[in-house]
Chain A
Amino acid sequence: MNNIALGQYVDGKSIIHKLDPRTKLLSLMLLMIAVFLIPKPLNNSFGRTASFIMLGGFAVIILMIVLFTKISLIKYLNSLKQLAFLFIFTFIIQLLTPQGDNKLLLDLNLNLSIVGILIIIAWIVLFILLRKFIPLKLFVFLGLTCLSIYLLTYDLGFSFGSFKLKLYEDGLYNGSFFFTRIFLVIMLSTVLTLTTKPTDLTSAIEWYLHPLTYLKINVSIFAMIISLALRFIPTLFNETQKILKAQSSRGVDFKEGTLKEQISQIISLLIPMLVISFKRAADLADAMEARGYIPGAPRTKLNIMKFGLSDLFSFIITLIIFATIIIIKVI
């Protein structure tokens, strides 16, 4: 009931789903590299426009891929949500760092006046108190921030100092550029995880690592390890929940107690987990051995990967895009 989904795979029958996982893995990787190869906006308006046109082009391509997967956009945005903070943070940092010709976008003299600060604190308190009722919290918060900055430009009395807030025009361009770039790369990796079964991905990785066998490295064992890990992550997750509940019945409460008590409480979770994992591992090893598994021995491949026409087609398109970027980069 409390199962965590294995990866994020969403079942579907779209063209992207049906592609050979090897094609998907390599193509999406190439596209990601291509996105990273888009030149940074230069200081002149031509370079800037060129960079953003390329970025826009990629955005269109990636949007098309996303639409082809026939998976709802919400699923994609969800995977972005966890990284939203990182996005905004890089954006703001870029905005505040002087670079290029240091052309200023905004130059404000902010007064640290007691009245002004008090008003801002009042706003923040009000916001926290009322946030249950506020729709679109993030936007309201951003609005409030802008309003606070605007308010600070006036000296409302009892000022005890001032500082300059400088926003740079190049920072704005660079910020938006980096922002969009990370966004696109994450979208691409999400396409891969949403449309490919973890097992297929493992097979694809195993195939690409095949050359390592010439170095006497046994790739099939690694593939087996990955697939067993995939198999047992949900099981162990459920097990953790169970132990956590069992220990809670014995009064474990991770939020209180001295440091020493907290350590013993964490140990009360870790040791049972270790014991269970070892037991599972031993049982599993027995079961695998009894069914004739010999590490490294040749086995039949049940999941065969087929490189079809659509694979060839999409791979060629990817190569063309990749080559274009390389050529532009070189020129």
Chain B
Amino acid sequence: MGINFQRVSYKYSYNAPLTLKEVSLDISSKDEFICILGHTGSGKSTLVQNMNALLLPTSGQITVFDKNVVKVVKHPYKLNTKKNRLKYNFIDNKKLFARGNKIVYSSNLKVLRKHIGLVFQFPEYQLFESTVLKDVMFGPKNFGLSDDEARRAAKHACNIVGLPKDVLEKSPFSLSGGQMRRVAIAGILALNPDIIVLDEPTVGLDPKGKDELMNLLVSIQKETSKTIIMITHDMNVVGKYAKRVIVMDQGNVVFDGNKRDLFEDIDRLHKFNLDLPTSSSLAVKLKERGLINYTHLPLSKEELETVILGGDIYE
């Protein structure tokens, strides 16, 4: 088992409304390709930041790989001390403790961050070292690897993301936007996390860069069979790549399952304020005009072509 959420709630401050409302989830550590959908403010980013303890829940329990437990229960007295905040080593802390909650935890939160690698939106902004290689080595070294081990891990990660060798000694700031993003992703891959979480990894890239990045993620998954979780707004990406889809709305998980189940129920889709992938909406319109027929809604260009040629999609 990879990540388990049990009735996890989160709010940013005492007076704020809940950003997560008793979310329960189960994510396996192998072979999952999960897309998290939902419009801005639905709690997607909060959800993934809870996964690697950058945010700690207001209540509920998060278990990562069976032994790392973050559990928050209501507690009658205050624990709002500086020492505690330091001990639990996390960022968004004041309000949580001020409300008198207690955290039970069974491992250092930093260890948990090694299991779950989180790549933020516009990750190129986190680059800072003088060379690409040094920047990728930064993470492994923070987790206690020696220089040599870190260098090996970094070189391996750069290789996976397809950075040419001559780039490694260049300054990361001299690279193009797409390449900088690869360096940033390599920085997380070098930690060798068990699960990779990405927050809108393709935003701001041009069509070619988008395709390359998605292909990269698919190939990483094929080779390592690690679970990949990504937040996205791009339904075409969901239609083509996702194996499982989680839809967030106002802090609730309103859908968790197969993408075809999601897209075939048009009314529900509208209720979630989501669109169909381009191919699917083309298919729907072609079917309305009686030009094609299908039993399963095509979700990608390839599937639509099959349907047009008279074939059918098999699960």
Contact = CB atoms under 8 A, between A and B. Distances in A.
Interface of A: 1-2, 132-133, 241-253, 255, 257, 261, 264-265, 267-268, 270-272, 275-276
A1 B12 contact: yes
B125 A253 contact: no
Given A250-B188, A255-B89, A268 B138 contact: yes
B259 to A, nearest CB: 27
Nearest to A250: B139
Interface stretch (B22-30, B63-71, B114-122, B234-242): B114-122
Given A245-B91, A272-B125, A253 B142 contact: yes
A262 to B, nearest CB: 11
A249 B120 CA distance: 9
Interface string B107-146: 0001001100111100101111000000000110011000
A250 B191 contact: yes
A271 B128 contact: yes
Which among A2, A247, A251, A261 has the greatest number of chain B C-beta atoms within 10 A? A251
B126 A247 contact: yes
B92 interface: yes
B86 interface: yes
A56 B54 CA distance: 51
Nearest to B184: A246
Contacts of A272: 125-128
B42 to A, nearest CB: 13
Nearest to B126: A246
19 contacts: A1-B12, A132-B79, A242-B125, A243-B125, A243-B126, A245-B120, A246-B120, A246-B123, A246-B125, A248-B54, A249-B117, A249-B188, A250-B126, A250-B138, A251-B191, A264-B138, A267-B128, A275-B125, A275-B128
Contacts of A267: 128
Contacts of A246: 120, 123, 125-126
Nearest to B16: A1
Nearest to A130: B77
Nearest to A279: B125
Which among B12, B54, B126, B173 has the greatest number of chain A C-beta atoms within 10 A? B126
A132 B117 CA distance: 37
B203 to A, nearest CB: 14
A261 B145 CA distance: 13
A67 B118 CA distance: 50
Interface of B: 12, 16, 19, 49, 52, 54, 77-79, 86, 89, 91-92, 110, 113-114, 117-120, 123, 125-128, 138-139, 142-143, 173, 187-188, 191
Given A133-B77, A249-B54, A272-B128, A244 B91 contact: yes
A249 B50 CA distance: 12
Given A1-B12, A242-B125, 20 more contacts: A245-B49, A245-B91, A246-B120, A246-B126, A248-B54, A248-B91, A249-B113, A249-B119, A249-B188, A250-B138, A250-B139, A253-B110, A255-B89, A261-B142, A264-B138, A268-B126, A268-B128, A272-B128, A275-B128, A276-B125
Tell me the dominant secondary structure on chain A's binding face.
helix
A249 B49 CA distance: 9
Contacts of A2: 12, 92
A251 B86 contact: no
A91 B91 CA distance: 36
A-B pairs, 8 with minimum CB distance: A251-B142, A271-B128, A250-B139, A132-B77, A246-B126, A249-B118, A246-B120, A251-B143
Contacts of A264: 138
Contacts of B79: 132
A261 B52 CA distance: 22
Contacts of B118: 249
A253 B86 CA distance: 10
B55 to A, nearest CB: 9
Contact of A253 (B52, B54, B89, B138): B89
Contact of B142 (A133, A243, A250): A250
Nearest to B55: A245
A255 B91 CA distance: 12
A261 to B, nearest CB: 8
Contacts of B128: 267-268, 270-272, 275
A65 B42 CA distance: 44
Contacts of A270: 128
Contacts of B19: 1
Contacts of B125: 242-243, 246, 272, 275-276
A1 B18 CA distance: 12
B233 to A, nearest CB: 18
Which among A244, A264, A270 has the greatest number of chain B C-beta atoms within 10 A? A264
A127 to B, nearest CB: 14
Which among A246, A265, A275 has the greatest number of chain B C-beta atoms within 10 A? A246
Contacts of A276: 125
Contacts of B187: 250
Contacts of A248: 54, 91, 113
Contacts of A268: 126, 128, 138
A132 B89 CA distance: 21
A226 to B, nearest CB: 27
B193 to A, nearest CB: 9
A19 B125 CA distance: 44
Nearest to B114: A251
A296 B139 CA distance: 47
A204 B310 CA distance: 75
A248 B113 CA distance: 8
Contacts of A253: 89, 110, 142
A271 B128 CA distance: 6
Which among A248, A268, A275 has the greatest number of chain B C-beta atoms within 10 A? A248
Nearest to A251: B142
Nearest to A132: B77
A1 B46 CA distance: 11
Contacts of A1: 12, 16, 19
